[in-house]
Structures are given as structure tokens and as C-alpha cells.
Amino acid sequence: MTTLWIKNPLAVFTANDLDARGGLVIRDGKIIELVALGQTPASPYDQFFDAQNLVITPGLINSHHHFYQTLTRAWAPVVNAPLFPWLKTLYPVWAKLNTEQHYLATQIALSELLLSGCTFTIICFHSSCPMPLMFRLKHQNN
């Protein structure tokens, strides 16, 4: 059981009026204390992490994402196309994606989501997603 003080973040979102500008104290994956600006934790801690150049937010939720579209979003034939011509051009492309291309798209999308603070997402498939990919991703992320 390690207790960690995430110290003095650049900014912190608390969704209330509580002052956590001095950071958060985490134990067993749970926030046990908010530390006000200029204060030190009242709780004993084992380690601290200097977050002076980082922002603390809750894990963000993305409720609808098309991972496979990461591979075609800058494809010249459809850049700046209106929605329906864009879809009509891309559906046949997406329908031909193979397992490895879906895997690559998923890696890109998950990396981008994590870098933006997203910790939960729901994948939407309008094209077929090979079932071996889903099993591979599930096994890899367990």
C-alpha cells in the first residue's frame, strides 16, 4: 500500500470549490486528500510526484469513436469533402481493411485518447471488424 502525493500541478479540475492546487494524495488508487495551495498533506505519504508542468483531470470518457478512421482522416481524396461524399468514398476503403490495419488504427486511436486524458471509450464499427482483432486487443489489455 503506497501513498502518493501528486504535488503542485499546473492546474487541477475538482468539479467543486475545493482547493486542490497543492495536489492530491492517492492511496490504493483512491484520492484520500486534496491539498490546498501552499500546504502539505495532512496524510502521511510514501512518495511524491512533482506535477508542476502537468494538469490533473478526471479520466475523460469518449462515448463514440471510430478507431479505423484514424487511417484515412488525412486521405487527400476526401479531405474537406462534405459528409455524404466523404462517407460514400470511404465506406469501400474501410470495408477492405484487414486485421493488421484495424490493429494499427486501434493502437493510434488509443494512444491519442490516452494523451488527451481519455480513460474510457466505446468503439463504433460501421465496417466489419475481424473478431481475431477483438480477442487480440482484449488479451493484450488485460
**Could you list the residues that contact Zn ion (CB under 5 A)?**
124
- CA contacts within 13 A on the Cβ side of 83: 0
DSSP lists the bridge partners of residue 7 as: 23, 50
Q: What is the residue whose three cell numbers read 488485460?
A: 142
* Nearer of residues 60 and 124 to Zn ion, judged by Cβ: 124
Give the shortest CB-138-to-Zn ion separation in angstroms. Answer: 20
Give the shortest CB-111-to-Zn ion separation in angstroms. Answer: 20
The set of cell numbers assigned to 129 is: 471488424
Give the shortest CB-106-to-Zn ion separation in angstroms. Answer: 15
Name the closest residue to Zn ion (Cβ): 124
* Nearer of residues 114 and 124 to Zn ion, judged by Cβ: 124
Between CA 107 and CA 115, with CA 111 as vertex, the angle to 5 degrees is: 175
